[in-house]
Structure 1
Amino acid sequence: MTDDRKLALGELALEVRSKNAGPFWVTMELFMRCAEDYATVADEGFINEEVIARLYALDPAAVRIFRIPSLNVVKISFPRPVPQGGLRDRDIHAGQHHVPLAALVPP
Protein backbone atom coordinates (compact mmCIF):
# COMPACT_ATOMS: atom_id res chain seq x y z
CA MET A 1 0.00 0.00 0.00
CA THR A 2 1.37 3.44 -0.93
CA ASP A 3 1.20 6.50 1.25
CA ASP A 4 -0.80 9.15 -0.64
CA ARG A 5 -0.43 11.66 2.19
CA LYS A 6 0.79 15.07 1.05
CA LEU A 7 3.79 16.49 2.88
CA ALA A 8 3.65 19.88 4.58
CA LEU A 9 6.39 22.39 3.75
CA GLY A 10 8.15 21.61 7.02
CA GLU A 11 8.53 17.98 5.91
CA LEU A 12 9.21 18.65 2.23
CA ALA A 13 11.82 21.39 2.66
CA LEU A 14 15.40 20.93 3.70
CA GLU A 15 14.78 23.79 6.13
CA VAL A 16 12.06 26.33 6.92
CA ARG A 17 13.21 29.12 9.19
CA SER A 18 12.39 32.62 10.31
CA LYS A 19 14.62 35.31 11.72
CA ASN A 20 14.96 39.00 12.33
CA ALA A 21 15.54 41.25 9.38
CA GLY A 22 16.15 44.24 11.62
CA PRO A 23 13.96 45.47 14.47
CA PHE A 24 10.94 46.05 12.23
CA TRP A 25 10.95 43.13 9.75
CA VAL A 26 10.75 39.33 9.81
CA THR A 27 12.26 37.14 7.10
CA MET A 28 11.28 33.53 6.48
CA GLU A 29 13.16 31.19 4.17
CA LEU A 30 12.19 27.94 2.49
CA PHE A 31 15.25 25.93 1.48
CA MET A 32 14.05 23.25 -0.92
CA ARG A 33 15.89 19.97 -1.57
CA CYS A 34 15.71 20.02 -5.37
CA ALA A 35 14.60 22.09 -8.36
CA GLU A 36 11.34 20.13 -8.68
CA ASP A 37 10.30 20.87 -5.08
CA TYR A 38 11.42 24.48 -5.50
CA ALA A 39 9.23 24.85 -8.60
CA THR A 40 6.21 23.57 -6.67
CA VAL A 41 6.77 25.92 -3.74
CA ALA A 42 7.83 28.95 -5.78
CA ASP A 43 4.66 28.77 -7.89
CA GLU A 44 2.76 32.03 -7.40
CA GLY A 45 -0.48 30.06 -7.31
CA PHE A 46 0.71 28.39 -4.09
CA ILE A 47 2.77 30.99 -2.22
CA ASN A 48 1.87 34.59 -2.88
CA GLU A 49 1.31 37.82 -0.96
CA GLU A 50 -2.35 37.01 -0.24
CA VAL A 51 -1.55 33.58 1.23
CA ILE A 52 1.14 35.01 3.52
CA ALA A 53 -1.12 37.92 4.50
CA ARG A 54 -3.86 35.47 5.47
CA LEU A 55 -1.46 33.30 7.51
CA TYR A 56 0.01 36.24 9.42
CA ALA A 57 -2.89 38.75 9.49
CA LEU A 58 -1.06 41.26 7.29
CA ASP A 59 -1.84 43.67 4.50
CA PRO A 60 -0.79 41.83 1.30
CA ALA A 61 0.88 45.02 0.07
CA ALA A 62 3.37 44.77 2.96
CA VAL A 63 4.57 41.26 2.01
CA ARG A 64 7.73 40.84 -0.07
CA ILE A 65 8.51 37.50 -1.74
CA PHE A 66 11.85 36.72 -3.35
CA ARG A 67 12.23 33.60 -5.48
CA ILE A 68 15.84 32.45 -5.94
CA PRO A 69 15.88 29.47 -8.33
CA SER A 70 19.68 29.15 -8.43
CA LEU A 71 19.57 28.31 -4.70
CA ASN A 72 16.14 26.57 -4.60
CA VAL A 73 15.08 29.16 -2.01
CA VAL A 74 11.95 31.23 -1.48
CA LYS A 75 12.42 34.16 0.90
CA ILE A 76 9.47 36.01 2.41
CA SER A 77 9.71 39.27 4.37
CA PHE A 78 7.08 41.34 6.13
CA PRO A 79 6.86 43.94 8.91
CA ARG A 80 7.04 42.56 12.45
CA PRO A 81 3.69 42.75 14.28
CA VAL A 82 5.46 44.72 17.04
CA PRO A 83 9.01 46.14 17.05
CA GLN A 84 11.75 43.80 18.24
CA GLY A 85 12.18 44.03 21.99
CA GLY A 86 8.97 46.03 22.42
CA LEU A 87 6.72 45.47 25.42
CA ARG A 88 4.38 43.15 23.46
CA ASP A 89 7.16 41.28 21.59
CA ARG A 90 6.77 37.57 22.38
CA ASP A 91 9.50 36.31 20.02
CA ILE A 92 12.45 38.70 20.11
CA HIS A 93 14.45 36.74 17.52
CA ALA A 94 11.43 35.99 15.27
CA GLY A 95 12.48 32.35 15.52
CA GLN A 96 8.94 30.94 15.69
CA HIS A 97 7.21 32.90 12.94
CA HIS A 98 7.86 30.15 10.38
CA VAL A 99 5.55 27.60 12.05
CA PRO A 100 2.32 28.50 10.15
CA LEU A 101 4.26 28.56 6.88
CA ALA A 102 5.82 25.14 7.60
CA ALA A 103 2.32 23.69 8.06
CA LEU A 104 1.16 24.62 4.53
CA VAL A 105 0.63 21.67 2.20
CA PRO A 106 1.61 22.21 -1.45
CA PRO A 107 -0.76 21.06 -4.20
Structure 2
Amino acid sequence: MPELRSLVTKVRSKNAGPFWLTIDIFCGSEAAFERVCRDLSTSRVAEVFGTEGQSVKRFDIPDLAVIKFSLPRPQIQGSVADRDMHGASWAALLGEVEI
Protein backbone atom coordinates (compact mmCIF):
# COMPACT_ATOMS: atom_id res chain seq x y z
CA MET A 1 0.00 0.00 0.00
CA PRO A 2 1.35 3.45 -0.83
CA GLU A 3 1.91 6.17 1.71
CA LEU A 4 -0.57 9.03 1.71
CA ARG A 5 2.10 11.56 0.70
CA SER A 6 2.77 9.66 -2.54
CA LEU A 7 -0.89 9.90 -3.59
CA VAL A 8 -1.49 13.60 -2.96
CA THR A 9 0.07 16.94 -3.85
CA LYS A 10 0.68 18.19 -0.29
CA VAL A 11 0.01 17.38 3.36
CA ARG A 12 0.27 20.46 5.57
CA SER A 13 -0.30 21.04 9.28
CA LYS A 14 -0.58 24.22 11.28
CA ASN A 15 -1.95 25.75 14.43
CA ALA A 16 -5.64 26.41 14.70
CA GLY A 17 -5.30 28.35 17.92
CA PRO A 18 -3.46 27.34 21.09
CA PHE A 19 -5.61 24.25 21.66
CA TRP A 20 -6.14 22.82 18.14
CA LEU A 21 -4.14 21.62 15.12
CA THR A 22 -5.34 21.52 11.52
CA ILE A 23 -4.02 19.12 8.92
CA ASP A 24 -4.83 19.80 5.27
CA ILE A 25 -4.52 17.17 2.55
CA PHE A 26 -4.34 18.74 -0.92
CA CYS A 27 -5.23 15.85 -3.22
CA GLY A 28 -4.57 17.57 -6.56
CA SER A 29 -7.11 15.53 -8.51
CA GLU A 30 -10.62 14.22 -8.20
CA ALA A 31 -9.37 10.61 -8.34
CA ALA A 32 -6.90 11.15 -5.49
CA PHE A 33 -9.57 12.97 -3.48
CA GLU A 34 -12.03 10.09 -3.89
CA ARG A 35 -9.43 7.52 -2.92
CA VAL A 36 -8.29 9.37 0.18
CA CYS A 37 -11.91 10.03 1.22
CA ARG A 38 -12.64 6.33 0.86
CA ASP A 39 -9.47 4.90 2.40
CA LEU A 40 -8.50 7.33 5.17
CA SER A 41 -11.01 7.22 8.00
CA THR A 42 -11.33 9.73 10.79
CA SER A 43 -10.74 6.92 13.29
CA ARG A 44 -7.43 6.08 11.56
CA VAL A 45 -6.31 9.71 11.85
CA ALA A 46 -7.26 9.69 15.54
CA GLU A 47 -5.26 6.49 16.02
CA VAL A 48 -2.17 7.98 14.34
CA PHE A 49 -2.25 10.98 16.67
CA GLY A 50 -3.26 9.07 19.80
CA THR A 51 -6.52 10.89 20.39
CA GLU A 52 -10.15 9.88 20.65
CA GLY A 53 -12.04 9.59 17.36
CA GLN A 54 -14.93 11.78 18.46
CA SER A 55 -12.55 14.69 19.12
CA VAL A 56 -11.30 14.75 15.50
CA LYS A 57 -13.27 16.93 13.10
CA ARG A 58 -13.21 16.11 9.39
CA PHE A 59 -14.08 18.41 6.51
CA ASP A 60 -14.22 17.05 2.95
CA ILE A 61 -14.10 19.87 0.38
CA PRO A 62 -14.67 18.26 -3.06
CA ASP A 63 -14.62 21.53 -5.04
CA LEU A 64 -11.00 22.06 -3.94
CA ALA A 65 -10.04 18.35 -3.67
CA VAL A 66 -9.00 19.01 -0.06
CA ILE A 67 -9.60 17.06 3.13
CA LYS A 68 -9.09 18.88 6.41
CA PHE A 69 -8.78 17.37 9.87
CA SER A 70 -8.85 19.40 13.07
CA LEU A 71 -7.85 17.83 16.36
CA PRO A 72 -6.92 18.92 19.85
CA ARG A 73 -3.26 19.61 20.46
CA PRO A 74 -1.74 17.12 22.90
CA GLN A 75 -0.14 20.07 24.72
CA ILE A 76 -1.25 23.70 24.84
CA GLN A 77 0.76 25.77 22.37
CA GLY A 78 3.75 27.38 24.03
CA SER A 79 3.55 25.32 27.21
CA VAL A 80 6.72 23.75 28.61
CA ALA A 81 5.68 20.33 27.23
CA ASP A 82 4.90 21.65 23.71
CA ARG A 83 7.44 20.23 21.25
CA ASP A 84 6.05 21.89 18.10
CA MET A 85 5.04 25.49 18.69
CA HIS A 86 3.84 26.03 15.10
CA GLY A 87 2.17 22.66 14.56
CA ALA A 88 4.14 22.04 11.38
CA SER A 89 5.57 18.59 12.12
CA TRP A 90 2.23 16.77 12.39
CA ALA A 91 1.84 16.62 8.61
CA ALA A 92 4.84 14.31 8.28
CA LEU A 93 3.22 11.73 10.55
CA LEU A 94 0.02 11.64 8.53
CA GLY A 95 1.92 11.63 5.25
CA GLU A 96 3.54 8.32 6.23
CA VAL A 97 0.21 6.53 6.74
CA GLU A 98 -0.29 3.72 4.26
CA ILE A 99 -3.63 3.67 2.49
For Structure 1 versus Structure 2, the TM-score category normalised by the shorter chain is: over 0.9
- Listed as ranges, the gaps of 5+ residues in structure 1 are 1-5
Choose which of 7, 16, 37 in structure 1 pairs with 2:32.
Answer: 37
Q: CA deviation at 1:105?
A: 2.2
Choose which of 51, 61, 64 in structure 1 pairs with 2:54.
Answer: 61
Alignment of 1:4-43 (within 5 A): 6-43=1-38
Q: TM-score, length-normalised on structure 1?
A: 0.87
Partner of 1:75: 68
Query: Matches of 1:40 and 1:70 in 2, distance apart?
Result: 15
Partner of 1:3: none
Partner SS for 1:91 = coil
Query: Matches of 2:74 and 2:37 in 1, distance apart?
Result: 25
- Listed as ranges, the gaps of 5+ residues in structure 2 are none
Name the Cα RMSD after superposition. Answer: 1.0
Partner SS for 1:86 = coil
| Contact persistence 1:48–1:65 (CA under 8 A) | no
Partner SS for 1:33 = coil
Q: TM-score, length-normalised on structure 2?
A: 0.94
Partner of 1:52: 45
Number of paired residues?
99
Query: Matches of 2:34 and 2:7 in 1, distance apart?
Result: 12
Partner of 2:95: 102
Query: Matches of 1:55 and 1:40 in 2, distance apart?
Result: 19
Query: Matches of 2:75 and 2:67 in 1, distance apart?
Result: 24
Q: Cα deviations across residues 68-94 of structure 1 (Å, max 9, x unaligned)?
A: 000000000000001100110000000
